[in-house]
Amino acid sequence: MTDSDTPLNGPLTLLDKGTRHRMIAMALLRMLLSIGILIAVFVITPPDDIANGRFGIGLFTAFVLLAALVAWEMYRTLNDPVPEVRAATSLLVLVTAIVILFALAYAGMSSANPDAFTEPLGKSDAVYFAVTTLSTTGFGDITALSEPARWVVTTQMLFDLVLLVGLARVFMLVAKAGRARQKRT
């Protein structure tokens, strides 16, 4: 089987093996750097800052920034020389952003009201809870007790199911459009 016979028949397959590996390595590096920045923001943001009276404003701002990140990643995927790789790395960055967004919300809610969950949530507990909610595992060791906490958890469940499945589909379509655009030019 030659490179031109592979299922991905685009610019990536026309490159020599070394260039292909460099492009993939750069995509992975870009993804790891983006995830690293998101984690750094999570680590340096104190839960008390989230828990103050501006919690709703902060959450709204976070969702607006997440929407901007989605739009930016779609634009970059559409214009990337290898849109399929960009789409995959973009989805991983966006999943990380969603987990961090909800983990910050849970840590802030727990800081403001330690009785909001079955146990007070530190940042690592909040990440754990956000990931178990995202994966729909729900071990039951941590549950939301207060009404606002339950609303945020419900929002995450709906957000995860609808948006992540939708985002995966949209990024596949954007990558396909990017590939079609390359073939036209």
Q: Which domains does the chain have, with CATH numbers?
A: 10-184 (1.10.287.70)
Least confident of 28-32, 51-55, 68-72, 125-129: 51-55
Question: Which residues have CB under 8 Å from 49's CB, separation 6+?
Answer: 108
pLDDT (0 to 100) of residue 13: 57
Q: For residues 75 and 46, which has the higher predicted lDDT (pLDDT)?
A: 75
Identify the CA nearest to 178 among candidates 68, 85, 93, 81: 81
Confidence of residue 6 (pLDDT cuts 50, 70, 90): very low
CA–CA gap between residue 36 and residue 52 (Å, rounded): 26
CA–CA gap between residue 64 and residue 34 (Å, rounded): 18
pTM listed for this prediction: 0.76
Task: Average the pLDDT over 150-175 and give the result.
Answer: 86
Q: What is the pLDDT of residues 35-66, one digit of tens each?
A: 888 888 888 877 766 656 566 666 677 778 88
CA–CA gap between residue 91 and residue 164 (Å, rounded): 8
Task: Average the pLDDT over 3-24 and give the result.
Answer: 63
Confidence of residue 179 (pLDDT cuts 50, 70, 90): confident
pLDDT (0 to 100) of residue 180: 86
Considering the chain, what is the average pLDDT of its residues? Answer: 82
pLDDT (0 to 100) of residue 132: 92
